[in-house]
Each structure stands twice: as structure tokens, then as C-alpha cells.
Amino acid sequence: MTKIEIIAHRGASAVCPENTMKAFERALELGATGIETDVQLSADGRLMLIHDETLQRTAGASGWVKDYTYDALRTLDAGSWFHSDFAGESIPSLDMLFNLVQGKRILLNLELKNGVVPYKGMEERVIQATREWKLEQQVVLSSFNHASLVKCKRLAPEIRTALLYMEKLYRPYDYAAKLEATGLHPYKLAAEKEDVSAALAKGIVTYPFTVNDPAEMQRMMDMGVQGIITDLPDVLVSQMAAK
Ligand code: G3P
Ligand code: CA
């Protein structure tokens, strides 16, 4: 059986409210080897884990994450929208996730959500936190904002970066190499078998997202990817065991 990274997208987000500590803890229980999460900045500059730039969908509040302080964000309920069993789950900080994985060999894929809101100083803050927690070897910074990843690489050459993209790219591995990224995170329909092997030959790994259907997981594994980002880490564990 070829081992690949099993990366829980927003934690075990099929069975728990996304981007909550419950979702991260459950992902580890289900056998994930990595956790993907989304990073935004509070009004007072704290790194918070929430997918949307606005609070309505998952935290039931109006307005933007960027306009709420850390204390105000921490009072919001990020669990009830998913199921009443999770009422009171909160929006975690990045420090809370770092604390959870301390001493564990878990890959942390931090997606910088700095495409819509141009969070000033986000890169510096994420890098500082990663260094403080001594997680440089475990963290992979990804973003659809490739300029931001170039900035990260300049500030912290020791931390890996990975390019997120939705559409097929021409020779994505050459583009990644130019940006000194060591990961390609394509949308599942943008992943190409030839690119996966050509990327690996340059030391660049491919982790497609978000792959939840077992047949699609199999197709990605047959393509030779080195990891899969999924809402269903347990399904991927079973799929790999059946191989
Ligand atoms: O890591 C890939 C994936 O998380 C990007 O899309 O919208 O789920 O953050 P989204
Ligand atoms: Ca994400």
C-alpha cells in the first residue's frame, strides 16, 4: 500500500462543524495525517480559523471577521448551524490548533484567506506563530494568492508553500519551482497525471482538493498523488487499506 497524506479539510468537516476544535480532534481520531484549515485575521490582529470572510454562515453573526475583536469572535457559536449537538463550539485561534498538534507528527496545511480581504501583516503573523511553536517542519502554507506565498517564502525560506488553483495550469511544476513552492494543491478536476509525476521529479508534491467520493479518491491515487485533501478522512483511510 502506497502511503499518502490524508488531509482533513477544515478538520473532519463531514461529521463536525468545519474549522472547530471538535472537527480537528475528530480528524485525528479518524486517522488523518494532516489537517487543512483557513486563516483570517481579527480586528485586533489575532489569527482565527474560519473559512468565510463573513460570519453569517457558520457563526450566525452579521458582518466581517476582520471587524470583530478576538474576544468578540470567541463568544460566537460556530457549531449550532451544523447540528444542535455542537452548540457552543467556538471559532478557534491558530494557537489552539498548534497546541492540539504539539508533539504529534501531523501535517498542518494553513490556507491564508487573503484573496478577498487584503489582511495586512498576515504572513508575518502566521510565520511568527509557526516559529514560536517550532512547527516549521509541519506547516505548509497555501493560498490562491500566489504573491502572498512568494512573500512567505521570502520571509521564511524554511516553511513550505503550496499553490492553490482551480483551473488547469500549463506546466504547473515549472511555475511552482519559479515561486519556490514545493506543493501543488489543484482543484480535483485540474489535476493531471503527467503533471503529478513531472512535479515529483522536481521535488514538488501534489495534494488535490476536495476529494470525497471513493471512486474519485481512487482516481487520484492511481494518478500517483502524494496526498488528498478530503472532508472524509476515514473514507480515505479505508480506501487506502483496501488497496
Ligand atoms: O485546500 C483547498 C481548499 O480548502 C480550498 O478551498 O474554499 O475549501 O478553502 P476552500
Ligand atoms: Ca481551505
pLDDT in tens, 108-128: 999 999 999 999 999 999 999
Instruction: Render 99-145 in DSSP notation, one character per residue.
Output: HHHTTS--EEEEEE--SSS--TTHHHHHHHHHHHTT-TTTEEEEES-
- Domains observed in the chain: 5-241 (3.20.20.190)
Q: Which of 51, 145, 149 to mutate to test the pocket of ligand 1 (most atoms within 8 A of CB)?
A: 51
Q: Note the ipTM here.
A: 0.98
The minimum-distance atom of ligand 1 relative to the CA of 111 is 1
Band (pLDDT 50/70/90 cuts) for residue 1 is low
Q: What is the pLDDT of residue 243?
A: 73
Ligand 1 close to Cβ of residue 113 (< 6 A): no
Q: Whose CA is nearest to atom 10 of ligand 1?
A: 51
**Which pTM value belongs to this model?**
0.98
How many alpha carbons lie under 13 Å from residue 78 in its C-beta half-sphere? 27
- Cell 503533471 maps to which residue? 195
Q: What is the pLDDT of residue 96?
A: 98
Residue 207 CA, chain-centre distance (Å), reads: 11
Cite the active site residues.
Answer: 9, 51
